[in-house]
Amino acid sequence: MTKGMVSAPQPEAVEAGLDILQDGGNVIDAAIGAALVQTAVDPQMCGIAGFGSMHIYLADKNIHTCIDFHGRAPKSTTPDMWEKLIVRECDDGFGFLLEGQVNEVGYQSMTTPLTIKAFDEALKRFGTRTLAQMLTPAIQYCEDGFEVRPAVHGFWTRGAEAGRIARIRGLTDDPATAKIYTKADGSIYGVGEKLCNPDMAKTYRQIAERGMEDFYTGDIAQQIDADMRANGGLITLEDLADCATESVDPLWTDYRGYQVATNQPPGGGLMIIVMLNILENFDLATMGHNSPDYIATVAEAMKIATVDKDARMGDPKFFDIPFDELMSKDYAKAMADRIKRGEKTSVPRMNMGAPESKETTHICVADTKGNCVSLTHSLGSSSGVVTDGLGFMYNNCMMVFDPRPGQTGSLAPGKARFSALSPTIVLKDGKPFFLVGAPGGTTITMGNLQAILNVIDFGMNAQDAVYAPRFMATSDTIEVTNRIFRATERELQARGYPTHRHGQSYLMPSVHGIRIMDGKLDGGADPSTDGMAAQV
The arithmetic mean of pLDDT across residues 346-356, rounded, is 61
Residue 337, SS3 per DSSP:
helix
508 confidence band (pLDDT: 50, 70, 90): confident
**pLDDT on residue 94:** 65
Point out which residues pair with 478 in neighbouring strands: 499
pTM beyond 0.85: the answer is yes
Helix (H) or strand (E) holding 261: strand 258-262
- pLDDT on residue 23: 97
The per-residue pLDDT for range 176-204, each reduced to its tens digit, is 999 999 998 989 999 999 999 999 999 99
* Active site positions, annotated: 360
pLDDT recorded at residue 350: 57
What is the band of 100 on the pLDDT scale with cuts at 50, 70, 90?
confident
Write down the pLDDT at residue 339. 98
Percent of the chain residues past pLDDT 90, beyond the cut: 82
Query: Within a 10 A sphere around the Cβ of 464, how many other Cβ atoms?
Result: 16
User: Residue type for 9, please?
Assistant: P
Q: What is the mean pLDDT of the chain?
A: 93
Strand (E) positions, 417-519? Answer: 424-428, 431-437, 471-472, 478-480, 499-501, 512-517
Residue 97 has pLDDT above 90, yes or no: no
CB 95 within 8 A of CB 104: no
509 against 147, higher pLDDT: 147
Quick check: 17 and 27 in contact, CB under 8 A?
no
Among the listed ranges 146-155, 253-262, 263-272, 291-300, which one has the minimum average pLDDT value? Answer: 146-155
For 56, the 3-state DSSP assignment is strand
Is the Cβ–Cβ distance between 405 and 479 less than 8 Å?
no
Q: Is the pLDDT of residue 93 over 80?
A: no
Tens of pLDDT, residues 247-263: 999 999 999 999 999 99
pLDDT (0 to 100) of residue 162: 46
Beta bridge partners of 88: 97
Q: pLDDT band at residue 156, thresholds of 50, 70 and 90? A: confident
Cα-flanking dihedrals φ and ψ of residue 364, to 5°?
A: -115, 135
Which are the contacts of 431, defined by CB distance < 8 A and separation ≥ 6? 59, 370, 516
Is pLDDT of 226 > 60? Answer: yes
Q: In degrees rounded to 5, what are phi and psi of residue 354? A: -100, 125
Which residues face 428 on adjacent strands? 431
Report the distance separating Cα 188 and Cα 182, nearest Å. 4
Q: Above 60 in pLDDT, residue 336?
A: yes
Q: Which residues contact 315 (CB under 8 A, 6 or more apart)?
A: 70, 265, 266, 415, 416, 417, 418
What pLDDT score was predicted for residue 88?
82
444: pLDDT strictly greater than 60:
yes
Structure-model confidence comparison of residues 507 and 15, the more confident one: 15
Candidate from 161-165, 255-259, 284-288, 450-454 with smallest mean pLDDT: 161-165
User: What is the spatial distance between Cα 498 and Cα 493, in angstroms, rounded to a whole number?
Assistant: 6
How confident is the model over 19-69, as pLDDT tens digits? 999 999 999 999 999 999 999 999 999 999 999 999 999 998 999 999 999
Q: Is the pLDDT of residue 172 over 90?
A: no
**Beta 499-501 vs 478-480: how paired, if at all?**
parallel
User: What pLDDT score was predicted for residue 299?
Assistant: 98
Average pLDDT over residues 392-406: 93
Residue 397's pLDDT is what? 92
Helix (H) or strand (E) holding 146: strand 146-147
Band of pLDDT at residue 353, cut at 50, 70 and 90: very low
Length of the chain, in residues:
536
Decide if pLDDT at 91 tops 70. no
Q: Average pLDDT for residues 104-125, to the nearest whole number?
A: 96
Q: Note the pLDDT of residue 356.
A: 47
Q: Which of 79-83, 114-118, 311-315, 355-359 has the lowest mean pLDDT?
A: 355-359
